[in-house]
Structure 1
């Protein structure tokens, strides 16, 4: 076994957080003071923590600008194929620390800030507002792999709501994340684009015109996305809706000017607020407007860049659009950007005058579609009437796409009228609706799920007809997370312990974590891993006591389930285990119980009543258990209010047990499960989503697997699921349900949770009771192992060692090679001169 690096070698070789050289620190201090003085117009006598944050952000941003400009110059000179990743949920949020990690400035900034302000930079990072989505992981990886890639989305004025818990209930507050400004973005009014709505179509001999439209302007804001220490800085472009300046002169003359100005808000509402994506489709006109707005503005930008590229400008007459797929790849993240397909066809046919056949060939070869859900209520189906009103030309195009598509289906499967009906883009039963997933499949050259089991389910169930029609289109791209944010940044202690053994190259190549298995019997390594976990738990316990006024036993097992509150994620199954464990402790208070602190966090969509009731049940259970003197510190229950990335960065490194307990076949992938695994938590989970592959990589012996598999769920569905049978057969389950129903956890409102019990007993699509018995037995195994810290930590090491596959670098490399037709490069660009 190789020996750990000496302290001397460690200082030479390991720079996980960057170097803090005297020159770096001096330069950063000067720049910080300059920005505090000249940018913020403050001195240190009156500067606030927020001023310090903005001064530091502008200081770090200076290190990005030269690299950003140089990267774009490089792309223009080399003219590579460009990747455009369109998502309605880009919401980058906290950027400062991530940028410092990727530019190797963390230690230098920390030292400089402490010398200047006597405050560590992490206190300034806490000022930054916002949250972060998995799409942000993908952008990080695209830049780190040197891909010429762009993220496109909407610059929402208000992000997903802030969650407050008031008397146990969720209350939503607006997330005004731009209130104090955003130092990372740069407005680009010179690239503003018009987006059209409403109007009518006119058919002429020379083509179709879309006329009498209402125009909204799309103003782009660019945010730099740095790669990991390779001097590459890519761009995320978010569009903000602005009303045009023209007013109707007649209205002006009759005194309507004021109202005309006020009506500008209607146009600008398009980018006002983010719809919470909670696996539930809301067919609101504003949402369809958002979807078309981002697609139209983005395609105009893509085509502009294609035409002015060195490749495009070489064309003598006009750009040859048959070459567009050689230079452009468009990835549709879920069905939200599905309008890209009819919009690209409109641009190519109506404006660029390509024949339908040529335009369709270009469209299909350019676009690819990622599916994110198998839940039927989550699939977008837009009413034809709404389409006709808002986007009349696009409706005509969708109908023509469908006509030709059904001709192809009929030719391949003659006489199969049922298949024609199932595969149509237009659903005729009841209200006529356009199935956006079908549109994405027909209009793309590649369709992928986000975990192997999910991709297999797509082919076997909801997209079975399309798979049989065009099997070559279907692929799998298992999700991943960026190790820069989700290890180096949020858990530097663990990153250092790993780097001491295997060096720091694992940050770029997470597969190198496999070599940690060489240290499975290394007492020093086992001790170091356990020590880092305990330090993280102590820090988090202090945070919890401060914010929730509950004293936590830091030696208890930190059992955490954090994700959106949804019936399919089965927070209710977790609740039943908590109640069962509580009842067991009460029954035998003198027995040696494994202490647990159970934490559940997540937001319920504002209109999702059942999810809000689940939150109320969790808080009610906590109120009873946390105040029971018999139980003491052996069991505590905390609902983590306003779960977001800042909280995740504290909770995930502190977790001992990760709850991933969705009904098999319902979770597409999950990425929280990967974050917990990388940070040294063990997983209790069903064989669902990416859990399946995580268990394969870590070894099933190192996973706590329970419950039905997908085939078992299907068989139970066919046979008929009867919750009453489990309720009658399992005394502990019956006791827990009776307590909930009888008001044990809501003594002042005994009827409060009757509807949850009614749902579980009579309308539970996700079969909570069917997995209860196996889940309880599996939790007993967890308790037993936790009593043996050494064996627990060995299992942790096996899990960390198996995380290589779950780097978003691997995910993006597969997208690049197998869908986009581009080759990632780890080539480092030269550093800028200034």
Structure 2
């Protein structure tokens, strides 16, 4: 039998085996009394509190543990089914998993949300109130980590046996505070009060080495045998979190690694009086899993980032290989039983590490090891920005990972030999090389991941096509057919059912429950888009969500906003290519126009921003300051008559997004065309009934195709036009001079109108726009402004606006991460999924 077919049959049997195990369990749904009794038992015997004196945080832990019991039953059933039948597993390696809060998400997926609410109400506890106390699992920065979280949930939902692997950061991405309009960072200690969802696995610990030297000896057949003798060794210790699929039919595992020292304290140093130095090795080891994305602007920061990446990759691969050998005993069948997906370049060192394990530990030949490595690994690229494609100095890798550098050189030699034999030019050979010789010798991790993978995917149609034309043009020529597309998706369980229960209930009452299992059945909503009664219900729910957000805004920043105004939202990582700057400059233009023409019927707007700038990203931090400077002036100006408000919400995270997105009327997706790989915020907003203003960038292109040109506001230069403008002898000053509104805005910002105590503050930002403007803010300004006025005109026609918003909801089902995972499974991983 063909090996691929055989594997799929085994995997199909595995899915059935898991279903069989799950069928043996009682339904997770139960009466509220039984669940209440379980909560009370946990409160008493696990938390150690009498209900009479229990605080809100005690109830939170008790209900979390009660839910966890139900989840563990399904988790065990899933594991038993997988081991009983064998088959291929998927291993998803990601430096980020932005999973957010897990209580409500787990209750929803286990069909226990209403049961828990009723159970807690019977003892005088409000589920929604205590759920707000759960800390966000701050294990990611933005879209990359949130995508990984959606994928974990969808893999469990569609029946893929999977492990996620990452780092258990003690302090996740920093907590953002806004002090006098400036971003400041403080630790996000999300584990301070424990984590009820995780299970420490002390027995699952692997040694990870750094430094040292490589010893070469002669094997029995005369070939060289290499042995790496690390100079430093630490432990990676596993912590498991169950990842629950929809209806709890499958529960997969998210395994996160904590770094530990082999020797927690040097007694000799301690007894000699060096009490600080005695802990030096422990601190050095544990720093690896202490903070997400430490600043890499210094050599020490770069070294820590590389140590983090190798640490979790090595621990994960050792675990995967150990599991395979324990079950199958034959390393040569590894690629038939394991599919390893690299989420961006952070785990790209996996190519060299897997080669090291196969050659040095399992004594495979180079050829066999590389074939297995390539057939096992696939790589997801998330960026076209050259500066975001990781490179590491060769001396740094030689010092930290000497054996891996040898393997990288050997892989590169074979790649360059293949390129030379195909007739490649010197320029092409330089482009495909894993070693960049042009700016100091550096290892290109994107190239390493590409040549070590059997498939390389982009995350939207535009992005995947541009990969072939830009960053991987020459590698695509050398290895045609390796690049494929897998447009991102979002889980509707988190981003509709949990985040927007009002709309979820309305949809169920209107089109039935089918969309809960297959989001593409939302299309049945189309026939209600013009229905006046449905529009009224839809608008009522949107207004309630906006009122909830308005309350949060007042609590957070002390500003009153009107829920009947147009809520215009841009929430995402602060970056120049995402162009929050374009948004705030247009806001200033609108402010000027309202003051200049008070006689016009202006549409009331609330401009809502949120997002974090990387700690060392100065330009992005100045954008945050400008937004807050503009907000301070606009919000206090009586001439505006409350027609315009500007809000920057601090400490953007998953939980904040779950409140903001259902309340949005307008979604800002305005990146410079050709620079956003995909975006998933655009999908979340559309699913919750917001209209999109955006460029033809990333997944906006596919959103245009699915929702229709009449139901999305597309403006600005296309990707090809952006490239042409950049290559031309354009002068941004000419563009500015041709736009009276833009010139007025830039003059105001530059002269200190919004920073009277420091008139020089924003001159650097404006001068960049006047002289270079790489992100083409000035080129798109007038088109963006004109589109915003078209949006004003539509807003005043309530039925027309609601019709378009409803059609967006109806046509967003294709953007479910379930669909994305099914495509990965069928076309990259070679594993089946459960029927839709």
1:785 equivalent in alignment to 2:798: no
- Tell me which residue corresponds to 1:5: none
Return the alpha-carbon distance in structure 1 between the equivalents of residues 825 and 698 of structure 2. 22
2:426 paired with 1:413? no
Answer yes or no: is the 8 Å Cα contact 2:567–2:605 preserved in 1. yes
- Tell me, yes or no, if structure 1 residue 335 matches structure 2 residue 342: no
Q: 1:211 pairs with 211, 221, 229, which one?
A: 229
Q: 1:288 aligns with which of 279, 282, 306?
A: 306
Residue 213 (structure 1) shift: 2.8
User: Cα deviation per residue 1:468-516 (whole Å; 9 max; x = unaligned)?
Assistant: 1112111000010000000000001111111112212212211111121
Are 2:112 and 1:99 equivalent residues in the alignment?
no
Unaligned residue ranges in structure 1 (runs of 5+): 1-18, 314-318, 828-834
After TM superposition, the structure 1 = structure 2 runs for residues 140-155 of structure 1, keeping only pairs within 5 Å, are 140-155=153-168
Partner of 2:222: none
- 8 Å CA contact retained: 1:573, 1:772: yes
Measured at CA, do residues 790 and 783 of structure 1 come closer, stay the same or move farther in structure 2, by a change above 3 Å? same
Does 2:194 match 1:181?
Answer: yes
* Separation in 2, partners of 1:510, 1:404: 46
SS in 1 for 2:639: coil
Deviations 1:238-291 (A, max 9, x none): 000000138779768967787334431111111010007999999700010011
Whole-angstrom CA distance in 1 between matches of 2:300 and 2:821: 30
1:676 maps to what in 2? 685
Q: Report Cα offsets for 1:679-728 as digits up to 9, x if no partner.
A: 00000000000011001100011110000001111111121331101211
Note the 1:409-558 alignment, pairs <5 A.
409-414=419-424, 416-558=425-567
Structure 1 residues 322-721: aligned runs within 5 Å: 322-414=332-424, 416-721=425-730
How far apart in 1 are the matches of 2:158 and 2:596?
A: 57
- Which segment drifts farther, 755-764 or 284-293? 755-764
The SS at the match of 1:329 is strand
Residue pair 2:109, 2:246 contacting (<8 A) in 1 also: yes
- The equivalent residue for 1:110 is 117
What is the CA–CA distance in structure 2 between the aligned matches of 1:37 and 1:786, rounded to whole Å?
Answer: 54
CA distance in 2, matches of 1:61, 1:218: 25
Report how far residue 430 of structure 1 moved. Answer: 3.4
- In the superposition, the TM-score normalised over structure 1's length comes to 0.93
Match in the other structure for 1:56: 63
The residue that corresponds to 1:4 in the other structure is none
Structure 2 spans left out of the alignment, 5+ residues = 1-26, 141-145, 220-224
User: Given the alignment of the two structures, is residue 47 of structure 1 paired with residue 54 of structure 2, yes or no?
Assistant: yes
- Alpha-carbon separation, structure 2, partners of 1:560 and 1:127: 25
Trace 1:8-23 onto structure 2 (pairs within 5 A): none
Matched residues in 2 for 1:279 and 1:760: separation? 25
> Structure 1 residue 391: deviation in Å?
0.4
Q: Give runs of aligned pairs for residues 257-296 of structure 1, distance below 5 A.
A: 259-275=277-293, 284-296=302-314
CA distance in 2, matches of 1:570, 1:745: 19
The structure 2 residue matched to 1:160, chosen from 169, 173, 180, is: 173
Query: Which among 785, 793, 802 is matched to residue 776 of structure 1?
Result: 785
Question: Aligned equivalents of 1:823 and 1:307: distance in 2?
Answer: 23
3-state SS of 1:229 partner: helix
Q: Please identify, of 145-154 and 536-545, the stretch whose mean Cα deviation from structure 2 is larger.
A: 536-545
Query: Could you tell me which residue of structure 1 aligns to residue 149 of structure 2?
Result: 136
Distance 1:756 1:106, change over 3 A: same
Deviations 1:720-763 (A, max 9, x none): 33110121111111110010011111112111111111111113
Distance 1:237 1:729, change over 3 A: same
Q: Work out the CA distance in 2 between the residues paired with 1:396 and 1:487.
A: 49
SS of corresponding position for 1:471: coil
Distance 1:277 1:77, change over 3 A: farther
Does the Cα contact within 8 Å between 1:278 and 1:564 map onto a contact in 2? no
- For each residue in 1:640-659, what CA deviation from the matched residue of structure 2 results, as whole angstroms up to 9, or x when unmatched? 11111111111100000000
Aligned-partner Cα distance in 2 for 1:466–1:362: 20
- Give, in whole Å, the separation in 1 of the partners of 2:262 and 2:699: 46
Aligned-partner Cα distance in 1 for 2:45–2:336:
47
The residue matched to 2:247 in structure 1 has which SS? Answer: coil
How far apart in 2 are the matches of 1:279 and 1:67? 45
Q: Structure 1 230/51 Cα, relative in aligned 2: closer, same or farther at 3 Å?
A: closer
SS of equivalent to 1:170: strand
> In 1, distance between residues paired with 2:460 and 2:393?
30
1:241 paired residue among 259, 282, 301: 259
Distance 1:582 1:520 in 2: 34
Runs of 4+ in 1 over 4 A off after TM superposition: 246-258, 276-283
